[in-house]
Each structure stands twice: as C-alpha cells, then as structure tokens.
Structure 1
C-alpha cells in the first residue's frame, strides 16, 4: 500500500541543526581550551601542562556528570523543551564568558557550561526518541538517530577550523565568543521547530516503584556535593594528585555507593542484569580515560612534536581559512613557571622564559629554523581535533556494514564481545603513538602528522565498537523502572574516565621516554579487555536471558 507520509518527523531536522550548532560550540571550545591554558605568549593563561591537564580533565568529567541531574529534572519537573532551552542559554553565556579575562570569569563560565550541558545533552536525545514513539515512525527510529549523530559529528568537524581562524587572526576571546554564538543559533533553531515536537514533550508519570525526586537528591546528590567540598577543603596533601581530583573522587563515592545499593536491594530477577551493567561500567572507564586524551596528551604531541610545517604552495589558501599558525623565533618563548603553575613575569610584566626560542623550534634542526623576523607557517594544532569526527562520519557506514555482513553469516560477536574488541582496538591506537615516539627519536625530531592521523583512525574504530554498544547494552539489560538511573551510571563511568584522562595526561612531563606514557595506556586498555574476556560467558548468558539474543 503506497503512502505519502514522510519517512521521518519534521522535528528531526530542527533537532539535527540544533544539536549540530550545540556540538559546534562545545567542540570549538574543547579544541582550543587546553591550548589557551598553556599559551603564555599570545594572551593565554600561561599554565603548565600538568595544571592545564588537571583542569581540562575535571571540566570534561563534570560535563558528563550533570546529565543525570538534568535528565531527572526534565523527566519529573521541567519538561524537555524548557530544560533544553535553559541548558542552551547557560552554555552560550558560559562560552562567551570564557572570552573575559581573569580566573573568576573562567571558573564561573566553566560552571555554566557544565550545568547547561546537563540540561541540554540528555534531553534533546530523549525528545528525539519521543518523536519516533508513534507507529507511523517507529520503524525509522534507528535511522533517525543515525542522522542525528551525523549532526553531532558535522558540528564537531567544522568547529576546529573556525576556532583556528578566529584565534590566529583575532585572538582567543573571539574564538570562545563564536562558540557562544553557535550555541545561540542552536537555541533559536530549536525554538523555530517548537510546534513539531510539542506533543513529544511529555513528562513521565511517577510509578509506584520510582524513588521520589527529593529522596534522590537527599541520599545521592547532596552527599556527593558535601563529600566533594570536603575533599577539596579538608583533605591535606592532594592524596590523588590535586585538590580537584580529590574533590571529584570523594564526590563520586556516594554515587558509586548508591549504584551498589541498587544491586544489593534488587530482586533476584534484576540482580544479574544490574551486576552485568555495573561490571561493564567499571571496565569502560579505561576507554574514556584514553579516548579523552585527544584534548590533552595528543594535543601536546601535535603542538610540540608533530611536523606541522605547511607546504609553501598551500600557505596562502590555508591562511585564508585560518589553518596557518605563524611562529617566529624572535617573538615566541617557552615560559618558566612558579610554584602555583603560573608563568613567571618580571617587574615589567614580561614572561620569564627557560629557553629563548619558540616551543615548536626546540626539536627542529637549527638549519630548519626560520630567519629572524620571518615567521614559519604551521598547521594550527586544534585542526587535529577534526580528525576523530571526520573518521566517525567516514567509518560508521563501514562498521555497520561489517557487523551486518557477520550477522548474515551467523558470526556477529555478542554485544559484550564488541565492547571487548573495542578496548583491544583502543590499545592498538596507543601502539601507533609508541611508533610515533620511536620514529621521532623520543621527540628529538619532528614526527609525521600521519602518526596522529593513524592513531585517531584506529581509536575511532574502537569508539564505534564500544560506545554505541554500551548504550545498547544499557537499554537491553536495565530493569524498565531503572533505565534512567542505569543510563546515569553509564554517564558516571564516562565522567570518571574523563577525569582519569586528565590525571594521566598531567603525568606527561614525568616520563623521560614518552613511549612509556603510551605503553601505560596500552596496558590499561588490554587489562580492561581481558577483564571483559573473563566475564564474557557470564555476560552472554545474562544478555541471552533478557533479550533472547547474545
């Protein structure tokens, strides 16, 4: 029977562009945030890599922690459209606030982005799912999410190019402000499509078994906040490396205890699937700890150790779109740092340096240095942040085809096995960087940019094996009344991994031979994969029991 109905609801396209612009702002900010913090020559904060890595890891940890609260408030109180609007506006203000000078402005802005993301990120995805809840569109739900995911990666791909153009030509503040403008465009597009998803904005009724909202705040969120504050203020000696790390770990303990209590109090029927999910959550922390080093350790490798010199014929066109960063040995310097990790300055406010040359020139042969006053044209470091979303767009259809082909032959791995292989592939990506270290003689020479491209390509395959499969496993195994809470557990694991990525990256300068840094990451990923391998039979049985499939 023929039909004239659209394959997808009209609201999808408004949500697609809203999310594209939101991710544009978020990834523009992430592409330059670490570089902004370590820059001491061109208006940055002049922080050490260790301190900047710690701040970066703490920020992305909290970004993935607040969706639990934002989703809960939208479900029970605010509704999805209001929560998304509040989140988008808060994030826009936060991005623009990063353009302002001073530590207070930065801390307040990061706080607004963290809170705003908690309201925006989980609820726009939930609202999209509501559009496909009717029989008319239900069969197209997976395809709709694939289209939506492309919007995420399209925004993430474009963002570093805009960031590079603005920060090279106008300064850091303009680049951060552009992220805010992008976010406001996303909110505007969202409002324009309001009528198309009004009916999907339905608050979930509280079921008899649901924990009251105030009880969740009282026994989970409030204790987490108190423990975090105490970890920051009262714990002496930076037990886990820094005040922020102490605060995060102590703050996470009440939440982890809460998830443990869910398992302890669960019925016999729910105990096994909850145990399986908690086991997966614990293991995938390692993946996020490695994956999220793209903004810290891999950015450091791109900035200092990668051959970024532009071919002479490409300099003009590349400069026109902001790909070129100019380095002059007479202008740029390597700063020295005080005990608070701030760049030292003399009485006139000039930065005191350990070396009188640009950092990029430190491991470049003297004969290849530019003449004084003649800048060297380099590919901007943040452009390497476009590689991962590019490969997501390129490789997603190939990975989907690969699993479809295996399914037809009856050889498709189980969902837990896919996660295991994702960790193995992630370990392989770190070995690519070990190769880069040896090819560059431990950073004594510049390494080819192809090493970084290769590492990003490999870890993107690992991401496509692991991340969607983890979300799928949560939807498969969660008891219906606990689905939102268990999805919050996935975000908690992501958050802890993100924080750990900053902790690991902060140790960069402690490794004399950088191969050991990447080998530690490799060992962690392989150990995590081995842990799943040991649980594989048990996990398959549980998935089989609850879905009829492995």
Structure 2
C-alpha cells in the first residue's frame, strides 16, 4: 500500500514533530523583543532599549541558524540523525523552560545558549531525514510537494503558538509563556518516537569516502578559528558594525564561509557543479532572510506602535474574560515614551534611552479615541496583544500552501512547471513587493502621525508569504536534490548558514529604524536589497537550470 501513495508514511510524523518544535521556537520569537523592552518594574520584562533589543534578537536568531553547520556535520558523521534530533530537542526544551524559570540576565543568556546549540542538532537533521524518505521511487517526483507540506507543518506551529503565548502572558506572565514553549518541544519528541518505524531505515549514516572532511579538520580549521575570530570581534576596540555582538558574529562567520567555499575547490570534478550551484543559492537567499526576519523586530514595532490594535467594544469583555487582550490605562505613568516622530530619545552618547510617561501607543491615537480616554469615564482601552500579529504570516502559509502546491502540480501536468531555482528567484521578486505595501502603509499613516489599519500588515505579510513559499521550502528541496549524498546534512547546514547571516543582517537593519525620520526610506532600503538579490539570481539562473538538468532533476 505504501508504494502506491505519493508520500511516504513517515511524512505525517515528521510533520507533527516539526510543528511542535516550531511551536516552541516561534512562541519565543513572538514575544522575545516585547519581553526585552518591557519595563522591569511594571511588566516583569528586562527593560532593554529597542535598539539593543533588536541587536540581541538578531544575534540570537542568527546563532540558531549558524550552529546547524556543526550540528549537521556531527549528524552525518558521528551521532546519526536519530540521536541528533533527540539531543537537539532536549536541549531546546531545557532552554525554553530555563528562560521561564530564571529571571536574571546570566541565566537568560545561558538558556539562549542551550536553544542555539539544540537547534544546531535538530534543524538540519530533520530536514535531511525528510529528504532521505523521498530519495526513492515513487516519492522522488513529489519531493518539492513533500517539502511544501512539511513547511505547512512548521507554520501551523508558528500560527497557534502566538495565540497560546498571548493567553499565557495575560493570564500568568512571561515565565509561564516561555515554559509552554518547552512543553511543546517535548510533545514533538514524543510524536517523533511514535513514528520511528517509518523513517529509521532512512536515518542510516553515509559511509565515509576518501577525501571526506574529517571531524578533526572541522574543529581545528573551522570551529576553533570561528571562536577565536568571534572573540577578536567582541574585544576589538570600538564597534566596526554597530555593536560588539554584531562584530563578533560577523568575524566568527568568516572561517565558516571560507570552509564552505573551500568545499567547492576541493570537491571531485563531478561534484563541483552541484556544490557551486548550492553556494549560489545560499548567497541570494541570505538577502531574503535579511528582510523576512524583520517580522520579529521592525514589523513587531509597527504592530506595537503604529497599528490600531484596539478591540471592538462588543469583543472587549468576552476576550478579556479568556485573557486574550491586554488592558492599557491611559493615565499609566510607568511605561516608555518616545518623541512625536517615534524616534527614540538619545543621551549625550547618542545611545537610545527611555523615559517615563504615558505609553507610546497613545501618541498617535485618533482624536475621537483621545477625547474618550481623557474624559475620565473610560480611561482603559483594550488591545490585541502585539504577538498575535506574528500569526499572520503562518496563517497565510497555511492558507496559501495548498494553492501554491496546486499551481505547481497544474503547471507540471502541462509541462511548464518552473525549475526549483526559477521558483527561488521568483520568490525574491515577490518578496520585494511586500516592501512596497509597507511604503503605502507609511503614507496612509502620515509617517506615524496616525495609526493605520491592521489590514496593511495582513497585506504585506500575504505578499511576502507567497515569496517565502517559492523560496524557503524550495531551498530545502534544492539542497536535498543537488547535494552529494556524503555531505547532505552538512550542505543543509550551509543553507541555514545563509539563513543565519540573513537573520543577523535583519537585526542590523531593524536597529537603524530610529535613524530614519521618514519610514518610507527604511522600507525602500529593504526593497532595494531584494531587487538586487533578484537581479543576481536572474544572472545565475541559466547556469543553475543547466546543472539541475544535468543531475536529472
């Protein structure tokens, strides 16, 4: 019976394992910056400035996608795929729970370290295991669709987690919300265990071959130099690229990038075209992640400060009773304030600071709302939690994935389905259009003078989600198709390395938010980056398609 189906029996188990793992991961991302900037005295946050919060967020998500480089290699050569998934999952669960239990910065960073290391073992391995299930007939032709379905599982987790996070934060507090992420990760490991018989056969480590990269070589030529370079970047006098953490990260990636480039020059002649094509895709996808991952920083800030989050009067009491909205008092004096242009006030050293006063949310409310609140009769307004807006993107993924997959299947039957590289380049261009939607949103809000409708975020996320569905799952599929079998997980780690660098760039870009008095220019920069990546991809497309054809795809 299994041989007659289009997809292997292991797919649904890996689907739900990844769904619950991503539930925890994205629950953290949805409230990460909000937790960091929440004042200590009132809301139990860490009271960090927006600019520094962006920097910490960018470094964190960058490192979670940098560690798959070494994690993928260890899965390929030492631990095997099953052990790597268990080890990664347990470390991440411990990190999430640690964030919820311990409140000081030392434990906060220690918990983040556990998540970062755990993700390194888990993320490339489960994606590679899925690819192995599609390595034989009759599943081979459906690999792209399989990754699309798998990607939808990721986004179901990302969708529901923000709803749960809002409930847990409003009902109990930040700590309980973080602990919920850890519980989700453990649920994922239970599901993975139940489905073991359907993919254990695909988790066999590849036999070593002459010329293979050795573990000692990775440690001595890549890992140790990366640590040393990162330390140099951290301790070098002054800041070359904005902050010590940014300098450290950029310096640390240099030996890793050098390693991946060297794989091309040391590869067998028959492997060089494939590795070269993969490196090209890694490069252009980096620009996508630099813009896309601003959903946790710049677009969260847009939702928090620039979007009308008020709850209709008919829904206030029902939602309040189930802890799905937060009440904000107009007279509250213990929350951050910014100047009229939403540019953070700065001290003599030009560092972003916060002062006390009415919440910044009330800076640009409508005159009617202000009059109602100032009347004193109803000085509390009920707002949708900001993290709920993080569910818009995964909602679109869930809604659009069947449509996108259907379009590719229709075109395949007609013999006109675009190649995987063509889909990736198309995704870059469509993603660029989402920046134009945000430019229109800035114009509608008169550059922050008045709040805008949430539908602007819905529209922007909808556009970039189409681009994401053309690029992200196709990138995973591309690596699985072209990577030499002996280094598949290692090259999957390379895809996540590109993701990592893009994530860090997203934090750097978001930290410049307050440097732009006119926010139109901020989104124009993002648009220009994606158009540049699109043109770069187009210049490579003919060669990439030729290599795909030569390799039988």
Map Cα deviations across residues 54-83 of structure 1 (whole Å, 9 max, x no partner).
Answer: 111111111111112222222222222222
Instruction: Report deviation, 1:417.
Output: 2.5
Measure, in 2, the Cα distance between the counterparts of 1:147 and 1:415: 16
Q: Is the 8 A contact 1:48 1:337 kept in 2?
A: no
Rounded to whole Å, the distance in 2 between the matches of 1:194 and 1:546 is: 31
Q: Does 1:303 align with 2:304?
A: yes
Other-structure match for 1:492? 497
Output the CA distance in 2 between the equivalents of 1:77 and 1:432: 47
The answer to whether residue 18 in structure 2 is matched with residue 19 in structure 1 is yes
Alignment correspondent of 1:423: 428
- The unaligned stretches of length 5 or more in structure 1 are 345-351
Instruction: Tell me the TM-score normalised to structure 2 length.
Output: 0.90
Q: How many Å apart are 1:273 and its aligned residue?
A: 3.5
**Structure 2 counterpart of 1:347:** none
Report deviation, 1:172.
0.9
In the TM superposition, what is the alpha-carbon distance from 1:422 to its structure 2 partner? 1.1
Q: Does 1:249 align with 2:250?
A: yes
The two structures have a TM-score, normalised by structure 1, of 0.91
Structure 1 residue matching 2:364: 3-state secondary structure: coil
Which residue of the partner structure matches residue 90 of structure 1? 91
* C-alpha distance in structure 2 between counterparts of 1:511 and 1:102, whole Å: 33
250-259 or 479-488, which deviates more:
479-488
Provide the secondary structure at the position in 1 that maps to 2:383.
strand
Give the aligned partner of residue 215 of structure 2.
213
Match status 1:506 vs 2:507: no
- Show the counterpart of 1:165: 167
Aligned to 1:349: none
Describe the SS at the equivalent of 2:91.
helix
Greater Cα offset, 535-544 or 293-302? 535-544
Q: 1:417 to 1:342 in 2, by over 3 A?
A: closer
1:393 equivalent to 2:394? Answer: no
2:534 alignment counterpart: 529
Q: CA deviation at 1:3?
A: 8.5
Query: Partners of 2:404 and 2:34 in 1: how far apart?
Result: 33
- Show the counterpart of 1:109: 111
* CA deviation map 1:228-271 (0-9, x unaligned): 111112x1211011111101111011111122222233344443
Give distance in 2, aligned partners of 1:105 and 1:343. Answer: 24
- How far apart, in 1, do the equivalents of 2:155 and 2:264 lie? 36
Shift of residue 543 of structure 1?
A: 2.8
- In structure 2, the CA distance between the partners of 1:220 and 1:424, relative to structure 1 (3 Å rule), is same
- Secondary structure of residue in 1 paired with 2:450: coil
8 Å CA contact 2:148–2:401 kept in 1: the answer is no
| C-alpha separation in 1, matches of 2:174 and 2:265 | 50
Q: Partner residue of 2:59?
A: 58
Query: Is residue 2:544 matched to residue 1:539?
Result: yes
Closer, same or farther in 2 for the Cα pair 1:340/1:244, shift >3 Å?
Answer: farther
Higher alpha-carbon deviation: 446-455 or 34-43: 34-43
3-state secondary structure, aligned to 1:98: helix
The answer on whether the counterparts of 1:48 and 1:341 sit within 8 Å (CA) in structure 2 is no
In the TM superposition, residue 536 of structure 1 has moved relative to its aligned partner by: 2.7
| Higher RCO (CA 8 Å, separation ≥ 6 residues) | 2
Structure 1 residues 424, 197: closer, same or farther in 2, change over 3 A? closer
Report matched runs for 1:445-524 at 5 Å: 445-524=450-529
3-state SS of paired residue (1:376): strand
Contact 1:91/1:116, CA 8 A, preserved across alignment: yes
Partners of 1:260 and 1:422 lie apart in 2 by 25
Change (3 A) 1:501 1:185: same
Show the counterpart of 1:348: none
Give, in angstroms, the shift of residue 407 of structure 1.
3.5
Residue 392 of structure 2 contacts residue 461 of structure 2 at CA under 8 Å; is this kept in 1?
Answer: yes
Q: Distance in 2 between matches of 1:3 and 1:477?
A: 26
Query: SS state of the match for residue 362, structure 1?
Result: helix
What's the offset of the Cα at 1:38?
1.2
Once the two structures are overlaid, the 10-residue window that deviates more, 270-279 or 492-501, is: 270-279
